[in-house]
Amino acid sequence: MRTYRSTLGPRPHAVAQVEPDPKRAARLDKLIQRFVHRPTALHGRAPGAVDLMGLLGAVHDMYGCLTRPMVEHLAHVCELYTGQVYATASFYPDIYLDPKGRHLVKVCTGTACHVKGADRLARRCARALGVEPGGTDADGEFTFLTTACVGACSLAPVLMVGTDIHGNPDPATLPDLFARHRESDATAAG
């Protein structure tokens, strides 16, 4: 993993610029400090070094995406160029630069899945969700994407909902499957 070196150490910053909720702002602030202040003795890194990939991954996990204001904020805090942070974030297809729905629905379009009918599965999913690939439904519940091979070729064609993998799902069960995920969200919130 590449480590970038900031020249002057972390700068004072206003985390509230990107996170108005004080509790979440404190969490974000703490998270950032974890990746900017690496003790030299423990990690063999100079003070002020930034584990940029670690930081981007952790912030992405927290928010589900890295918006432009967040990229600018992280660049500011780490004393890196915004373009440097953006280039790193945008290199990885699993780092999203715009907000997504609460559940990610992905149809694999790798070779094995393509041969086994990924296109047909994608059309059925689009119909069940009411969303075309790349889109998010109106209530922000589901984002529907296609993806490269997810490493479960023997189950082709593969559908992922969040981290769950469904091999060759029966198209008739898709509406129920998505409804269950929607309900699990509601249960967690309630």
**15 DSSP 8-state letter:** G
> Smallest distance, Å, CB 93 to ligand FES?
15
CA distance 116 to 159: 12
> Smallest distance, Å, CB 132 to ligand FES?
20
Q: Is 152 in the site for ligand FES (CB under 6 A)?
A: yes
> Smallest distance, Å, CB 119 to ligand FES?
12
Ranked by CB distance to ligand FES, the top (closest) residue is: 110
> Smallest distance, Å, CB 114 to ligand FES?
7
Range list of H helices, the chain:
22-36, 40-43, 52-63, 68-78, 82-91, 111-115, 118-129, 174-189
The DSSP bridge partners found for residue 103 are: 142
Q: Is 153 in the site for ligand FES (CB under 6 A)?
A: yes
Q: Which of residues 79-138 bind ligand FES (CB under 6 A)?
A: 108, 110-113
Nearer to ligand FES, 53 or 161 (CB): 161
Residue selected from 50, 104, 156, 174 as contacting ligand FES according to rule CB under 6 A: 156
Residue with tokens 């999203």: 96
Phi-psi region of 181 (alpha: psi -120 to 50; beta: other; left: phi over 0): alpha
Nearer to ligand FES, 65 or 112 (CB): 112
Q: What are 86's two structure tokens?
A: 């953006």
Residue with tokens 């790798």: 110
List of residues contacting ligand FES (CB under 6 A): 108, 110-113, 149-153, 156, 158
